Chain A
Amino acid sequence: MAHPSQLGFQDAASPVMEELLHFHDHALMIVFMISTLVLYIIIAMVTTDLTNKYILDSQEIEVIWTVLPGLILILIALPSLRILYLMDEINDPHLTIKAMGHQWYWSYEYTDYEELGFDSYMIPTQDLSPGQFRLLETDHRMVVPSESPVRVLVSAEDVLHSWAVPALGVKMDAVPGRLNQTAFVASRSGVYYGQCSEICGANHSFMPIVVEAVPLEHFENWSSLMLEDA
């Protein structure tokens, strides 16, 4: 989760998110350099006493300020496309989970081996225990094994929703009548929070997502327990 007044990204919990962080650093650095240059030029133009009314054209600088931005764009596009294709690599998921969006909660179905399904409602503020995070905690978390590729099939039962977990670098729209596939690998064990990312009615802000990545044995224990309770 983000700490209060955090501006930057959360620490990456998946390899794809790590790539995105580094790409963002790269693109932002370019943006800062261009902005500094433009700001300098603006200040220079505004504070000078010199005038020149007779410039008609200059081919040399026109070439430079056409070619150089083109090169900069290529410098941004190449890493960007690399990550785009990286995200669509053929992976071999160990586990497939269906995340279904409802108004206003998520439901998760683990149907690879047994029929495990449960709903995940936000814990209302008045029911929180001291120290829990307001508007982020849910009664049931989506538990996944860490360091295992997980495929998530996202869909919706009523209106558009979107299943997003920033720390894992995942966001996928939940469209009624459609199965959208996304995948991630949780590099480290931990709890990762997200929120519904497509306006879906009155309680759109109150249907969070919590993914808990645990070592495999713990995951197996958890799924056995959940099946017993069901």
Chain B
Amino acid sequence: MLHLSARRVGSLLARRATAALSTSSARMASHDVAQAADMSQPMYWDRLDTPLPDKPFKDVLTAADKSLKQKEKGPWSQLTKEEKIALYRMSFCQTYPEMKQKTSEWKTVIGGMFIFLGFTGLVVWWQRIYVYPPHPRTFDEEWQAKQLKRMLDMRINPVEGFSAKWDYEKGQWK
């Protein structure tokens, strides 16, 4: 079983030599060649950044398609514009402008966002009326005014902040 005839050894060695000459796989010194096996199925895609898919769009060609494909083997100047377009559509589903076409998805997104924001606003409004307790008396207009005056009298944040914006000589905001 392990016993190889001279003929078979010869053919094995010959295959190995051609493999060494033609392959571009990685080879470390005195190691066997490593090859990455791509086991993916060929598929079709429309991608801006990868122009050529594994296979053409139309797999099953009608008789008309097949005859057009034959004509394509000749000089292309003899193809009409419609034929060229038909050939393109056989190989590809969308053109580049079609791929790049803008959608209206953003309108749905922004619209949905505003709907939810609006709903939240309604909930907050309802809460303000039916849930929140009454304001403490320190929120009354008169109290706020007295508080403001007291803050100015106490020179709260006089350097760059609150009291710095009040003109004490003129008695008004700067």
A: residues with CB less than 8 A from B are 1, 3, 6, 10-12, 49, 51, 53, 125, 128, 130-134, 188, 190-191
Contacts and interface: CB of A to CB of B under 8 A. Distances in A.
B153 to A, nearest CB: 9
B155 A190 contact: yes
A133 to B, nearest CB: 7
A116 B45 CA distance: 86
Contacts of A6: 161
B49 A3 contact: no
A1 B147 CA distance: 12
A109 to B, nearest CB: 26
B26 interface: no
A132 B136 CA distance: 13
B49 A134 contact: no
Given A10-B161, A12-B159, A125-B138, A3 B151 contact: yes
Interface of B: 48-50, 100, 136-138, 142-143, 146-147, 149-151, 154-162, 164
B37 to A, nearest CB: 22
B162 A3 contact: yes
5 contacts: A3-B151, A6-B161, A11-B164, A131-B147, A132-B150
B151 A1 contact: yes
Nearest to B136: A125
Main SS class of interface, B: loop
Contacts of B49: 51, 53
B137 A125 contact: yes
Nearest to A193: B156
B143 A131 contact: yes
A131 B146 contact: yes
A132 B143 CA distance: 8
Contacts, number: 49
A1 B162 CA distance: 10
A124 to B, nearest CB: 11
A24 B45 CA distance: 53
A125 B137 CA distance: 8
Nearest to A189: B155
A183 B100 CA distance: 66
Contacts of A132: 147, 150
Nearest to B139: A134
A1 B138 contact: no
B157 A11 contact: yes
A52 to B, nearest CB: 9
B136 A1 contact: no
A53 B47 CA distance: 13
A3 B161 contact: yes
Nearest to B47: A51
B157 A10 contact: yes
Contact of B138 (A51, A53, A134, A191): A134
A11 B48 CA distance: 57
B124 to A, nearest CB: 18
| Nearest 9 A/B pairs, CB to CB | A131-B146, A51-B49, A11-B159, A11-B157, A134-B138, A131-B150, A3-B162, A11-B161, A130-B146
A54 to B, nearest CB: 11
Contacts of A125: 136-138
A189 B154 CA distance: 10
Contacts of B50: 53
Contacts of A128: 138
A21 to B, nearest CB: 9
B23 to A, nearest CB: 22
A212 to B, nearest CB: 10
A133 B157 CA distance: 15
A73 B155 CA distance: 38
